Amino acid sequence: MRAVIFGAQGVLAQALASELPAAGITIVTALGHKDCDIGDGQAVSHAVTTSRPDVVFNAAAFTDVDRAEDEADNAFRANALGAQNIARACVQSGATMVHYSTDFVFDGEQERPYDEFDPPSPRGVYARSKAAGDSLVQAATTRAFILRVGCVYGHSGKNFPSSLVRRLRAGETIRADRDRMASPTWIGAIARASVALARTNHFGLYHCTSNGETSWAAFAEFLAAELGLPDARVEALPTSGLRLKAPRPRRAILDNLMLRLRGLDNFGTWQDQARAYLASLGAP
């Protein structure tokens, strides 16, 4: 199988780059933002058709949730138009597409976990742009896997959960949300689920998060305990105390219904995943 990756410098793309070769998938090209702006339809089309891939992984996205509030056009250009450009290029070249979406497409006010058949209810520019990307991909091709992920952490990530281990070890005080609930998910598990799906023709929408839920503050406390750092300082704050620009879903817990039905839900609990992640870092 031949693969193209967009968004090569991102945390998910890096995880894919280490997972795909081990699964026997050849990465023909991995393009970063500087190599190819996915908002540029011609550039995307050229990159895909000349690489003759079987599968294209779109890990590129405008992911700064707060900045998106001030840069709506840039967010929509990458997350909506960019996703559509890649889907169309896949159709042109006969490739399948693996696209990534987010738990933010839900407002987080539903009491039970969201499954793939719950209608999106995005709030904020980033959330709306990602929901638009899902719709545009679905309209452009029936040969796409759309994986909705959330609260993702990995070795090279710039986002809050990815930075926790480094900051805890450095003795920093961690100011974390005690109100928002999530299912922290190790990027390695998402890369594996991506590969497993890409090998099938079970196209469609998939929720891909670890099982169970915790607050972001409790997740930081869990990591500190696992790292053997009893003196770690985690300041558990209400969401309002964090002064975030964009709205966040209070409890956008995803149910991996479709993966489960297909016998492909190997995510395990968020605690198991966090331990596997720490083991991969050689911690404690």
Ligand X SMILES: NC(=O)c1ccc[n+]([C@@H]2O[C@H](COP(=O)([O-])OP(=O)(O)OC[C@H]3O[C@@H](n4cnc5c(N)ncnc54)[C@H](OP(=O)(O)O)[C@@H]3O)[C@@H](O)[C@H]2O)c1
Q: Of the listed 100, 126, 153, 206, which one is catalytic?
A: 126
Residue 38 touching ligand X (CB under 6 A) = yes
175 belongs to the binding site for ligand X (CB under 6 A): no
Q: Where in 182-241 is the site for ligand X (CB under 6 A)?
A: none
Per CB under 6 A, the list member of 12, 56, 125, 140 interacting with ligand X is 12
Interactions with ligand X, residue window 40-59 (CB under 6 A): 59
**CA 185 to mean position of chain CA atoms:** 9
CA dihedral 254, 154, 147, 208 (to 10 degrees): -30
* For ligand X, the closer CB: 10 or 122: 10
Separation in Å, CA 252 to CA 139, 154, 213: 25, 20, 10
Residue 93 C-beta: closest distance to ligand X, Å: 18
Least distance (Å) from ligand X to the CB of residue 52? 21
Q: Give dist(CA 35, CA 243) in Å, integer.
A: 35
Residue 181: which H helix or E strand, with range? strand 181-182
Nearest distance in Å: CB 60, ligand X: 3
- Within 8 A by CB and 6+ apart from 83, the residues are 38, 58, 99, 133, 134, 136, 137
Nearer to ligand X, 25 or 65 (CB): 65
Q: Is 114 in the site for ligand X (CB under 6 A)?
A: no
Does 100 contact ligand X by CB under 6 A? yes
Query: Where are the strands (E) in 38-102, listed by range?
Result: 55-58, 96-102
Residue 142 to residue 146: CA distance in whole angstroms: 11
- Catalytic: 277? no
Q: How far is the CB of 187 from ligand X (least distance, A)?
A: 7
Report, in Å, the least distance between residue 218 CB and ligand X: 17
> For 112, which DSSP code?
S
Per CB under 6 A, 5 contacts ligand X: no
How, if at all, do strands 214-215 and 181-182 pair?
antiparallel
Binding site for ligand X (CB under 6 A): 6-7, 9-12, 33, 37-39, 59-63, 78, 82, 100, 102, 130, 149-152, 157, 159
Q: Which residues are catalytic?
A: 126
